[in-house]
Structure 1
Amino acid sequence: MAAYYWVDTVARGGIPSTALHGGVDIDGHQIYVGRAFHDGDWIPAKVIPGKQVAYVAYGGDEIAVDHFQVLCEQRFDWVPSGGGHIPPGAVEGGRTSDGEPLYIGRTHHEGSLTVGKVHPSHGVLYIPFDGKEIPSPHYEILVLRP
């Protein structure tokens, strides 16, 4: 059996019980790890089942998406990182349209622990937050447990 897998879902469809918990929104809603296809890119997403929505950070904005995938299984660790560094075993959460891998990261921001995309060539984690794409040079990155 694979160490992890992605499950297709929709905003009002609920999520599997094996979905990977990623954090907590500022209003207390649970955030799960996901990804979505947007404008030619597969982008790591924050999935908020309690609000029946997922968000990606793209082009300076927080974009709501209705169709997405959630990451399932629990064989992961969050490792402190920053500056675009990608540790061994980092989980690829998507790719840009030109083929650059995007990784799954999270950071604390305004009282939340929020999931986003680590964009190595930009040297930051981008989180979708309050309608914007917010960069953070310090973050945790998701790695597959050996």
Structure 2
Amino acid sequence: MEGDNTDSAAGEDGVPAPATGSSPALNVLCAICNEFFRANDIVFSTAKCGHVFHKDCLTRWLNRSSTCPQCRSSCTRNRVHRLYLNFAEATEYDDTEPPKMPIEWVAMDLDVHSFPDAHQPPEGAVQCGTNEDGLPTYVARAYFNDDLLPSVYVPEKKAAYGSYACRAYALTDDVEILVLNDCDLKWVPGQHGSFPHDALHTGYSELGEITYMGRGIYEGILRLGKVHPSHKVMYMPHRGAEVNVNTYEVLVVTPRDHAER
């Protein structure tokens, strides 16, 4: 399959391989079309299991299946993202640490076999409020079913907590914590589903509606939760259940270099 052969071939389930160009083949196969990736191919990865495929191959597959083509774990078109791979000669800049982004979602390693301090929030993580037991909580998000849930990360529990369909869930897979570098943040009042135009896009529902990180008072405690505009409330996890309030504050983040312009 390597070399100058540019003919497309039918792969698994009859999905045709993308046309190959003049760029060199890499020693990595797309499991759908069974062709080697080339340096100029558009490559996508599944968010949960991390398997990699040609974009066109994966798109066709997910049009008729909701599983990963390689391992058959749950996967939808909302749970994939593009990979940008650089293939070039090493340069003097390769060992230079890249600049930090103002707003980052940092993946947390919450596996039971992780290093002892892997659950600790990184520098710049946004702490706000507590959970029902008085433990500090951090702004986070997590993939759950077909949603990206604004979630509440509790380091002492080594888990994030999100609310979904009237229940609260402890989440340890696909958890990301918000980290800010040289940013200003504020909490803007909202009610009955309202949110400021510059609110931080934190998650989305299975229908594609943007959801936001909010904070509100529940049983006298300042709590983090999910502002769901069309539902006109802020949801939060509480002792295994999903509870809500209709007045709250919404998180707004502004990188300082933007604020100075």
User: Which TM-score band applies after superposition, normalised by the shorter structure?
Assistant: over 0.9
In structure 2, give the amino acid aligned to 1:33.
Answer: V
In structure 2, give the amino acid aligned to 1:121.
Answer: S
Partner of residue 134, structure 2: 28
In structure 1, give the amino acid aligned to 2:243.
Answer: I
- Does 2:97 correspond to 1:2? no
SS at match of 2:108: strand
In structure 2, give the amino acid aligned to 1:98.
Answer: L
SS at match of 1:72: strand
The count of aligned residue pairs is: 146
Deviations 1:62-89 (A, max 9, x none): 1100020000115211111111111121
User: Rg larger in 1 or in 2?
Assistant: 2
Does the CA-based 8 Å contact 1:85-1:120 persist in structure 2? Answer: yes
Cα distance in 1 between the residues matched to 2:212 and 2:152: 13
Partner of residue 69, structure 1: 176
More helix by share: 2
1:119 pairs with one of 220, 225, 228? 228
Using the TM superposition, give the Cα deviation of residue 18 of structure 1 relative to its aligned residue in structure 2, in angstroms: 1.1
Cα distance in 2 between the residues matched to 1:11 and 1:129: 21
Gaps of 5+ in 2: 1-99, 112-117
Cα distance in 1 between the residues matched to 2:133 and 2:162: 18
Cα distance in 1 between the residues matched to 2:236 and 2:124: 23
- Within a 5 Å distance, the mapping from 1:1-146 to structure 2 comes to 2-11=101-110, 13-14=118-119, 15-67=121-173, 68-73=175-180, 74-145=183-254, 146=259
Give 4+ residue runs of structure 1 displaced > 3 Å after superposition.
none
Cα distance in 1 between the residues matched to 2:145 and 2:132: 28
SS at match of 1:37: strand
Deviations 1:26-70 (A, max 9, x none): 332110000000011001000000121110010100110002000
Name the TM-score, length of structure 2 as normaliser. Answer: 0.53
Name the TM-score, length of structure 1 as normaliser. Answer: 0.93
Gaps of 5+ in 1: none
Farther-moved stretch of structure 1 (101-110 vs 19-28): 19-28
CA RMSD of aligned residues (A): 1.5
Identity %: 35
More RCO (CA 8 Å, sep 6+): 1
Using the TM superposition, give the Cα deviation of residue 102 of structure 1 relative to its aligned residue in structure 2, in angstroms: 0.6
SS at match of 1:105: strand
Using the TM superposition, give the Cα deviation of residue 92 of structure 1 relative to its aligned residue in structure 2, in angstroms: 1.0
SS at match of 1:44: strand
Partner of residue 68, structure 2: none
Using the TM superposition, give the Cα deviation of residue 109 of structure 1 relative to its aligned residue in structure 2, in angstroms: 1.2
